[in-house]
Structure 1
Amino acid sequence: MCTGKCSRFVGLSLFPFSAICIIANLFLFFPGWSVDWVKNANEYITPEVYFLGGIIGGGVLVLVPAVHIQATGSRENCCNNRCGMFLSIIFAVIGGVGAIYALAVSVLGMVNGPVCLHKDPSHNELIWGQPFKSSLEKFSNESYLFNKNLWSVCEKPEGVTEFNIVLFSIILVASIIQLALCTIQIVNGLVGCLCGTCQKRN
């Protein structure tokens, strides 16, 4: 596969994963698939959602580079040359940084857990907060991520624990794939700078 075709493949592949990250992040603003909690969002929505890892990181910071990277693979485009390939390396680095940001935020969101109505063991009353955030054993067998029986700790919004885990996991997987694609483009762009884009000239 020549460098131009590879760029086109990478660029086109980044678009759907960017869309997935943006949509998943938007859904996180509606815990438990309900709009009731948006009214007092500062109290009821998980803080990590406001970091916009899926919208800014996996979304905009990957989507903009994807446009240029895809353009370098188009034979009739002015970007299909060594200079365009060099710029694609810079854009791929920006996309990689965005993917890493989305990945980090999604991991943080999963580790800290959702904001929900749960029982405070010290006062034996229902409060809003992140009941899983204070756990010292984040990735042990005692973690809520690996113990589904703990998910019932959250009483409202209904099903919010599974909701957060699924959506943050989607952003996590999508950002890993984005990072891999951007890494491929960095290598491909370097080869394109040195060897050209396989563009046929009359």
Structure 2
Amino acid sequence: MCFGKCARCIGYKLLIIAVLCIVANLLLYFPNGETKYASDNNLSRYVWFFHGIVGAGLLMFIPATVFIGLENEDCCGCCGHENCGRSCAMLSSILAALIGLVGSGYCVIISALGLAEGPKCLNNGQWSYPFSGTNGQYLTQYSTWSQCTEPQHVVVWNVSLFSILLGLAAIQFILCLVQVINGLIGGLCGMCCCEEKSQSYAC
């Protein structure tokens, strides 16, 4: 079933991206590889939302594993027909895809908010958010990044990782959306085929 193969391909991609999101989120806790900023609570507030670890990470394992096993899933032969069972499985995969949409959507939102607000850093002797009132304009004003004296290069660190998480989660969102369409078409087409077979047997 080509719809099942497509779902399996999507599942493997989601799995790889989920691992990358977890790694990117973990790196946000250690600017320059140092742990003291996390222990002193001197990191961006949006780092603590676990958007890459939970939203685009662990939560994404659910749809990924469902999609990977979908090609051979037949719901124990729904209605007594193997193809009908596979159609039921394709339709049920939409629920898993919706979970993926929620998780990736959450990561996209938090990453965008983290980018807009900017990092928490030492500025003029105080820990603050010097870019919070710029509406994200600081992203293109590289000369202002030197306002953050500690952690060193924290703006580059935050912008890079939040951007990576935003991009990866957006890809996950699109893949889950594709699976919603794939599951719907695959399920309905299979149901139609089963209906035709049932009618032919009745004749």
TM over 0.5: yes
Cα deviation, residue 57, structure 1: 1.0
Determine whether 1:7 maps to 2:7: yes
TM-score w.r.t. the length of structure 1 is 0.85
Q: Residue by residue, what CA displacement relative to the aligned partner does 1:146-195 show, whole Å, maximum 9, x if unpaired?
A: 11111101000011000000000110000110011001100000012112
Match of 2:148 among 138, 154, 159: 154
Would the aligned equivalents of 1:3 and 1:196 in 2 still touch at CA under 8 Å? no
Relative contact order, CA 8 A, sep 6+: which one is greater? 1
Aligned length: 183
1:54 to 47, 52, 55: 52
Structure 1: unaligned runs, 5 residues or longer:
120-125
Q: CA deviation at 1:78?
A: 4.6
- TM-score with structure 2 length normalisation? 0.85
Distance 2:6 2:32 in 1: 40
More helix by share: 2
Tell me the residue number matched to 1:81.
86
Alignment partner, residue 173 of structure 2: 179
Which of the pair has more CA radius of gyration?
2
Measured on the aligned residues, the alpha-carbon RMSD in Å equals: 1.8
1:123 counterpart residue number: none
Which stretch of the first structure deviates more once superposed, 146-155 or 25-34? Answer: 25-34
Shift of the alpha carbon at 1:20?
Answer: 1.0
Q: Give unmatched runs, 5+ long, in structure 2.
A: 76-84, 194-203
Distance (whole Å) between structure 2 residues aligned to residue 185 and residue 68 of structure 1 = 11
Give me the identity figure in percent.
Answer: 40
- 1:194 matched residue in structure 2: 188
CA distance, structure 2, for counterparts of residue 8 and residue 100 of structure 1: 21
Show structure 1 runs of 4+ deviating over 3 A.
Answer: 77-80
What is the deviation of 1:83? 2.0
> 1:18-59, CA deviations, whole angstroms, 9 ceiling, x for partnerless residues?
11111111111112331222321x2x1110001111111111
Distance across 2 between alignment mates of 1:196 and 1:58? 31
The SS at the match of 2:140 is: coil
Q: Distance in 2 between matches of 1:196 and 1:4?
A: 11
Separation in 1, partners of 2:153, 2:13: 32
Matches within 5 A, 1:9-24: 9-24=9-24
Deviation at residue 128 of structure 1 after TM alignment: 0.2
Within 1, Cα distance between the matches of 2:145 and 2:26? 22
